[in-house]
């Protein structure tokens, strides 16, 4: 395919899309599938056939719109009417009332209007709007035009400069400047060079990367291609969690289609640019998402981290320069190329540009997948987008950054979400998990829960993380048995600081965050547990009382 053919294809597909008066997007992502999304999709297809409106109305399988708790979600265009908890019976009704008569069924629409108001959907721009199994849908929305722009009118250096100008930082947790990383790999000597798209997403309760892959797989692929062109890589791997079957299927299909359109492979768009992509399934551990553990895993070894330096940029896969990038980071790339780095830098905050996806869960009225500009406050996320705490309960804390994030109290709720602000208060961006905790939860119990997770997930290589976390767990168990000592709080803090500063990889370096932040912001609960053997939230000491 020549570049001009891509343009033609895009025009044709867009025309096709516009030829329909209505478009019914049925979310068939992992969130909606368990609610029966496939049946709903079939019901819609059947209904438009029965009503004979196939020419006016297109029914499409799509990815997620973000409102996963009220699935299956169905969006009717134009107007983006979002129907919630749709059943096959509802489907017929919607076709009858909305498509035929033109009157949306108000009672079935998603109720929280503010859910989308504060969001800015760049990465998720296509999520819920295109059919992820159909590359033409992506192309119609301007897909692969950024790649074409790079290949036909930009030097690799110009591409890196644009990414540099955007100020984009890695979305996998550490927030390293993406443009800088590209420069390192581009400059590194050694051939071939590799790219790894990190889709391991091992944090419990986090599903942003999965959703992205299920909704818009080509955005990831296009990002990889542009990165490959910029740094001179020939081979890419998408390292994906094996527990994500739908995302795997989606990416496989997308890669096949991209291959057959010559968007991946050799002489891409009839230029001299070659880049092939393979999937690699994750080793089933949280730590396997750490970049050096991924290297080991792809090389066929135990997925354990190794010390850096050498950094993957100079010595990665099989000792060759390797760019490892989170998939969300990559999905930003086409947007930056199409709109310019300066435009992107204008979104979010000066030090932290762009948007970020978050998995919003816990005690919240409207949980789901959201995307907000960097710098949005926790209050906006919890009270406006998330619509507050259910059952008139009181807000107690919010855990930001997944299992090794920090538990932030009410006083911190006006904190803007960006890397530096979060780190300052003891939390992390992590992979973008936000868990809201209400007054029915015990913070000691919460800290224990997340510590237990990290104990299970520690790879066991380094002493602070392997043994230190186990000791923290044992101290918690002692406190929960009613045998805690006042010195234990000090011991927890000393251990926590040691593990944070001395561990080899990010897992150990962040694992004490829940303990340290709850000690910092909720010390009174520890004191209560230890000195009075009491838990005001009524969570702990239950067994003791019964038996």
Partner 1 sequence: MGIGVIKLKINEQEVISREGDTILKAAKEHGITIPTLCDLDGLSNFGGCRLCLVEVKGSPKLFPACTTPVSNGMEVITDSERLKKYRKMAIELILSERIHVCSVCVANNNCELQDLANKLGVDHVNFKRDWNTHDLDTTHEFLVIDRNRCILCTRCIRVCDEVEGVHVLDLKNRGKDTEVIIDLDDQWGVSKICTSCRKCAKVCPVGAIYVEGQPISQTRDKKIAEFVLTRRQS
> Where do contacts with ligand SF4 occur on this chain (CB under 6 A)?
287, 304-305, 458-462, 465-466, 503-505, 507-508
Judged by CB, which is closer to partner 1: 77, or 493?
493
Burial class (CB in 10 A: 0-12, 13-18, 19+), 466: middle
Out of 29, 67, 257, 503, point to the residue binding partner 1 (CB under 8 A). 503
Quote the CA–CA distance of 159 and 306 in Å, as a whole number: 31
Q: Which does 307 bind (CB under 5 to 8 A by kind): partner 1, ligand FMN, ligand SF4, none?
A: partner 1
Q: Does 319 bind partner 1 (CB under 8 A)?
A: no
Cβ neighbour number for residue 157 with a 10 Å cutoff = 11
Q: What is the largest CA-CA distance in the chain?
A: 76
Quote the CA–CA distance of 141 and 471 in Å, as a whole number: 53
Judged by CB, which is closer to partner 1: 38, or 493?
493
Q: Which does 201 bind (CB under 5 to 8 A by kind): ligand FMN, ligand SF4, partner 1, none?
A: ligand FMN
Question: What is the closest distance, in whole angstroms, from the C-beta atom of residue 467 to partner 1 in the complex?
Answer: 4
Judged by CB, which is closer to ligand FMN: 202, or 496?
202
Nearest position to ligand FMN, beta carbon: 170
In this structure, are residues 53 and 104 in contact, taking their beta carbons and an 8 Å threshold? no
* CA Rg value for the chain: 24
Binding segment (CB under 8 A) for partner 1, from list 15-23, 49-57, 321-329, 454-462: 454-462
Question: What is the closest distance, in whole angstroms, from the C-beta atom of residue 427 to ligand SF4 in the complex?
Answer: 19
Quote the CA–CA distance of 174 and 94 in Å, as a whole number: 45
**β 406-409/395-400 pair status:** antiparallel
Q: Which does 541 bind (CB under 5 to 8 A by kind): ligand FMN, partner 1, ligand SF4, none?
A: none
Residue 491 phi, psi dihedral angles, 5° rounding: -60, -45
The closest alpha carbon to 140, from 125, 151, 150, 154, belongs to 125
Quote the CA–CA distance of 355 and 340 in Å, as a whole number: 15
User: How many residues contact partner 1, by CB under 8 A?
Assistant: 32
Which residues are bridge partners to 434 per DSSP? 360, 400
In this structure, are residues 137 and 16 in contact, taking their beta carbons and an 8 Å threshold? no
Judged by CB, which is closer to ligand FMN: 132, or 289?
289
Taking CB under 8 A as the criterion, which residues in 256-285 touch partner 1?
285
Judged by CB, which is closer to ligand SF4: 160, or 459?
459
Quote the CA–CA distance of 219 and 232 in Å, as a whole number: 19
Out of 38, 452, 502, 520, point to the residue binding partner 1 (CB under 8 A). 502
Question: What is the closest distance, in whole angstroms, from the C-beta atom of residue 310 to ligand SF4 in the complex?
Answer: 16
Judged by CB, which is closer to partner 1: 381, or 455?
455
**β 322-326/194-199 pair status:** parallel
In this structure, are residues 298 and 237 in contact, taking their beta carbons and an 8 Å threshold? yes
Judged by CB, which is closer to ligand FMN: 66, or 312?
312
Q: How far does CA 66 lie from the centroid of its chain?
A: 12
Q: Does 327 bind partner 1 (CB under 8 A)?
A: no
In this structure, are residues 324 and 196 in contact, taking their beta carbons and an 8 Å threshold? yes
Helix (H/G/I), strand (E/B), else coil: 420: helix
Out of 137, 457, 525, 528, point to the residue binding partner 1 (CB under 8 A). 457
Interhelix angle 145-153/217-231, nearest 10 degrees: 10
Question: What is the closest distance, in whole angstroms, from the C-beta atom of residue 306 to ligand SF4 in the complex?
Answer: 8
Q: Which does 324 bind (CB under 5 to 8 A by kind): ligand FMN, ligand SF4, partner 1, none?
A: ligand FMN
Quote the CA–CA distance of 540 and 535 in Å, as a whole number: 6
Quote the CA–CA distance of 305 and 285 in Å, as a whole number: 12
Nearest position to ligand SF4, beta carbon: 508
Q: Does 498 bind partner 1 (CB under 8 A)?
A: yes
Q: Does 356 bind partner 1 (CB under 8 A)?
A: no
Judged by CB, which is closer to ligand SF4: 73, or 303?
303
Question: Footprint of partner 1 on this chain (CB under 8 A)?
Answer: 285, 287, 302, 304, 306-307, 309, 455-464, 466-468, 470-471, 474, 478, 491, 494-495, 498, 501-504
């Amino acid at each position: 395919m020549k570049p001009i053919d891509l343009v033609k294809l895009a025009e044709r597909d867009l025309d096709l899309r516009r030829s329909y008066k209505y478009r019914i997007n049925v979310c068939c992502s992992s969130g909606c599938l368990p609610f029966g999304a496939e049946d709903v999709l079939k019901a819609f297809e059947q209904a438009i056939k029965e009503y004979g409106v196939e020419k006016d109305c297109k029914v499409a399988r799509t990815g997620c719109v973000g409102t996963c708790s009220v699935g299956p979600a169905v969006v009717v265009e134009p107007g983006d009417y979002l129907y919630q908890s749709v059943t096959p019976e509802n489907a017929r009704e919607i076709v009858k009332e909305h498509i035929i008569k033109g009157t949306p069924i108000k009672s079935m629409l998603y109720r929280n209007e503010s859910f989308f108001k504060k969001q800015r959907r760049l990465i998720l721009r296509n999520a819920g709007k295109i059919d992820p199994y159909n590359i033409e849908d992506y192309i119609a929305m301007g897909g692969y035009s950024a790649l074409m722009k790079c290949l036909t009118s930009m030097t690799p250096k110009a591409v890196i400069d644009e990414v540099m100008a955007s100020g984009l930082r890695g979305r996998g947790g550490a927030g390293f400047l993406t443009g800088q990383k590209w420069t390192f790999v581009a400059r590194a000597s050694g051939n071939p060079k590799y790219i790894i798209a990190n889709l391991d997403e091992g944090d419990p309760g986090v599903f942003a990367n999965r959703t992205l892959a299920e909704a818009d797989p080509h955005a990831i692929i296009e990002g990889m291609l542009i990165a490959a062109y910029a740094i001179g890589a020939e081979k890419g791997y998408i390292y994906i969690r094996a527990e994500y079957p739908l995302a795997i299927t989606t990416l496989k299909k997308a890669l096949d289609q991209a291959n057959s359109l010559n968007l991946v492979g050799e002489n891409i768009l009839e230029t001299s640019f070659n880049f092939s992509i393979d999937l690699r399934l994750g080793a089933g551990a949280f730590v396997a998402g750490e970049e050096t553990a991924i290297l080991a895993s792809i090389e066929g070894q135990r997925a354990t981290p190794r010390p850096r330096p050498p950094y993957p940029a100079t010595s990665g896969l099989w000792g060759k320069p390797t760019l490892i990038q989170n998939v969300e980071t990559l999905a930003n790339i086409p947007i930056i190329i199409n709109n310019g780095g300066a435009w992107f830098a204008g979104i979010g905050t000066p030090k932290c540009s762009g948007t970020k996806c978050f998995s919003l869960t816990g005690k919240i009225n409207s949980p789901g997948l959201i995307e907000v500009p960097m710098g949005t406050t926790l209050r906006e996320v919890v009270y406006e987008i998330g619509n507050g705490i259910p059952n008139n309960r009181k807000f107690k804390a919010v855990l930001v950054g997944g299992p090794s994030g920090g538990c932030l109290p009410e006083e911190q709720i006006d904190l803007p979400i960006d890397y530096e602000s979060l780190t300052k208060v003891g939390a992390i961006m992590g992979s973008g998990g936000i868990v809201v905790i209400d007054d029915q939860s015990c913070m000691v119990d919460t800290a224990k829960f997340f510590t237990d997770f990290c104990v299970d997930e520690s790879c066991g290589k380094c002493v602070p993380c392997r043994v230190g976390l186990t000791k923290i767990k044992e101290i918690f168990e002692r406190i929960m048995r009613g045998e805690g000592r006042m010195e234990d709080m000090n011991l927890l803090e000393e251990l926590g600081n040691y593990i944070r500063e001395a561990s080899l990889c990010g897992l150990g370096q962040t694992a004490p965050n829940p303990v340290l932040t709850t000690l910092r912001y909720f010390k009174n609960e520890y004191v209560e547990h230890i000195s009075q053997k009491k838990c005001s939230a009524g969570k702990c000491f239950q067994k003791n009382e019964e038996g």
